[in-house]
Amino acid sequence: MLKTLNNYQLLYFPTYLVRLIFQGNCLIWNILQMIKE
């Protein structure tokens, strides 16, 4: 049980990290667009 849970976390964590970075980049991009206008 614990081993499958760890495998699931290992699979899930990179996607969570990518999503977090992507959202951060979107936020920075929106701020830059607002400054440029």
3-state secondary structure 6-33: HHHHHHHHHHHHHHHHHHHHHHHHHHHH
Least confident of 2-6, 8-12, 16-20: 2-6
Is it the case that residue 13 has pLDDT exceeding 90?
no
pLDDT of residue 35 exceeding 90: yes
Query: What residue spans define the domains of the chain?
Result: 1-37
The two three-digit tokens of residue 25, written as one number: 């980049």
How many Å is the Cα radius of gyration of the chain?
16
What local confidence, expressed as pLDDT, does residue 1 receive? 57
Amino acid at 32: L
Q: How far apart are CA 26 and CA 35, in angstroms?
A: 14
Looking at every residue in the chain, the average pLDDT score rounds to 85
Could you tell me the pLDDT band of residue 22, with boundaries at 50, 70 and 90? very high
C-alpha 18 chain-centroid distance: 4
